[in-house]
Structure 1
């Protein structure tokens, strides 16, 4: 195979690898957009969860000072709380460490809400702090994942870069080797011999 053929094959292979990388990047961009939208929805659920926990506690304390049989406000907040809770649970991966910490903090709120007498400002503040810390760590973890990219994209990029680098090195080596092989051989120096004179 001569140099021109090797170069053409190499160029075709590199072009194919670049095309594959382009397709993966396009797909990765869409996945990142979906994941960012997912993070935004998760953030809304986290805010709604925390807001309704505090609203329920405030409603119970207010009702304690002004007894009333109207539970409509309390029921409405519990409904929104359940929606936010289910939205969080459905969006997180319970096997990952940041998600486990968040679900644990939510369990603290559930334990408090099971007994209205425990929904005191002090208990709420402690559980709220744990919930906020876990939420921040989870959102940071997911944001780093968006910046880093999906594992498929990361590995494809590494493979394409590695293979392209090896092919380029091979083609450079082949060109240098063929150039050296086709170079004219060095001319041997011309030697002049002198014969000694014969004596009469």
Structure 2
């Protein structure tokens, strides 16, 4: 059997509300912080994608202009004045695009974590940086097919890297996932503790509510007492009349 009082109800309710409120406040703090981190990671992904796109585009233009320049330069002394002007223009454009490619290349390298601890993520990063390095070193190659294949390799490894980072954003940061599980576990434990406290406080031994069985002698004495009391009442009433 259970019993309770308004004071105990108020105490248990107050403790429970305070515990749950504290848990949710802690969880909300972690959630807000890690949400910001995820926003920064998403921004980093977008900027990395833009840098990779810019790098590949600039290197393709460098290759195209270089091939045109090589064809003109092969004429040597047979170049006309117009062709010389065109060759100078190609050199200027090639230099400008190469400068932009170098900038994108540097930004890409700065954005990649070279000390990644997770083995799979580390391998993906290394594959991408290796492919990027090959295209940057071989930018002067005349073999168009080979160089285009190298650029395609950059794009494919970059796609795998970006996908990996997107999965991280989708899952949430590690601290966020841990805090979420901790909050759920803490709520379950807190509710269990409150239930245990309530049972301990409200519980009443059933034996206390068991009617007391009187002995035969006690019953006889009680009947005699009631008979005497009844007789005295009748006698008093008779005398008064």
Q: TM-score, normalised by structure 2?
A: 0.70
When you count helix as a share of all residues, which structure comes out higher?
2
Q: Distance in 2 between matches of 1:174 and 1:183?
A: 19
Q: Could you say if the C-alpha distance between residues 187 and 89 of structure 1 is closer, same or farther in structure 2, counting changes exceeding 3 Å?
A: same
Secondary structure in 2 matching 1:95: coil
1:112 is aligned to 2:138: yes
What residue in structure 2 maps to residue 133 of structure 1?
156
Match of 2:69 among 63, 66, 70: 63
Q: Distance in 1 between matches of 2:199 and 2:188?
A: 17
Q: How many residues align?
A: 190
Q: TM-score, normalised by structure 1?
A: 0.83
5+ residue gaps, structure 2, are: 1-6, 74-86, 117-121, 217-241
- 1:19-78 CA-partner distances (Å, limit 9, x unpaired): 121122222222222221111111000001111111111111111222324411011111
Structure 1 contact 18–160 (Cα < 8 Å) conserved: yes
1:81 is aligned to 2:101: yes
What residue in structure 2 maps to residue 170 of structure 1?
193
What residue in structure 1 maps to residue 178 of structure 2?
155
Secondary structure in 1 matching 2:203: helix
If you compute each CA radius of gyration, which structure gives the higher value, 1 or 2?
2
What residue in structure 1 maps to residue 45 of structure 2?
39
What residue in structure 1 maps to residue 80 of structure 2?
none
5+ residue gaps, structure 1, are: 194-200
